[in-house]
Amino acid sequence: MYVGLSDADLAPRIADGDSEAEAEMCRRMGPRIRLYGLRHLRSSSAADDLVQQVLLKVIEALRAARLRESDKLAHFVLGTCRMVVVELRRASHRQEALLAKFGSDLIPEPPPMPTLDDRQLARCVQTLKERERSVVVMTFYDEHTAAETARSLGISEANVRVIRHRAVAQLRDCLGVTL
């Protein structure tokens, strides 16, 4: 029933008390919020917390019809993500009261992460040129910046970027991953 509806179509329905529209909004936004959380919090459990807290705040706002322009739903969710990440970094407490009020049954299961063949990946990395392998290892070991890697290897920052992009593209090809 809700498949053909846009994100914006869901907001007024939620304001009207439509619980199915609410569930659909959570189903769509949950995985997107989780990706944001993974990127900024670097932890699956913290990303799950973020999904809960953001969805609860968004539902609360939508039920109260506080979102005036429904086509700004995604932007509103993103803004809420940013605000909650700041809060999470400031204090790690959970919003138990909100969870008690709304329950957690609307929190969707995240889509599974794609799996990689680790042995194949190792074989692919061994086929890289020496500079590419050095840049890949030093970049991904601890997510070193291009500047740090460049300083360490005595090459320019721009060169590190070019080498990294080329190496990652080659690895994707080697693994048969098409993006």
Partner 1 sequence: MTTKNDGGTGCSNPVEAATLMDYWLALLPSTAEDAIEEHLMTCDACGDRLRHVISLSEGLRTLARSGSLMVVISDRFVKHAAETGLRVREYAPARGESIPCTVAADDDMLVARLAVDLTTASHVDLSWCDPRGVEHQRMADIPIDVESGSVICQQSITWGKASPSMTLTARLLAVNEAGEEHLLGEYTFNHTRTIPGPPGWEVS
H/E stretch holding 80 reads helix 73-90
Tokens of 71: 């086509």
Site map 128..157 versus partner 1, x via CB under 8 A: -xxx-xxxxxxxxxxxxxx-x--xxxxx--
Q: Which is nearer to partner 1, 13 or 164 (CB)?
A: 164
Q: Which of 38, 61, 98, 99 binds partner 1 (CB under 8 A)?
A: 38
Q: Which of 19, 20, 39, 65 binds partner 1 (CB under 8 A)?
A: 39
Task: Determine if 118 is a binding residue for partner 1 (CB under 8 A).
Answer: yes
Q: Which of 13, 21, 28, 37 binds partner 1 (CB under 8 A)?
A: 28
Q: Is the dihedral of CA 39, 40, 45, 50 positive or negative?
A: negative
Query: For residues 52 and 46, what is the distance between their CA atoms, to the nearest angstrom?
Result: 10
Q: Which is nearer to partner 1, 15 or 153 (CB)?
A: 153
Tokens of 95: 């919003």
Residue 24 CB, nearest approach to partner 1 (Å): 13
For residue 42, what are the contacts with CB-CB under 8 A and spacing of at least 6?
none
C-alpha distances in angstroms, 146 versus 38, 133, 156, 169? 21, 14, 9, 17
Residue 57 CB, nearest approach to partner 1 (Å): 15
Q: Which is nearer to partner 1, 103 or 145 (CB)?
A: 145
C-alpha distances in angstroms, 70 versus 14, 66, 78, 105? 11, 10, 14, 24
Interacting residues toward partner 1 by CB under 8 A: 7, 28-29, 31-32, 35-36, 38-39, 74-75, 77-78, 81, 111, 113-116, 118, 121-122, 125-126, 129-131, 133-146, 148, 151-155, 161, 164-165, 168-169, 171-172, 175, 177-179
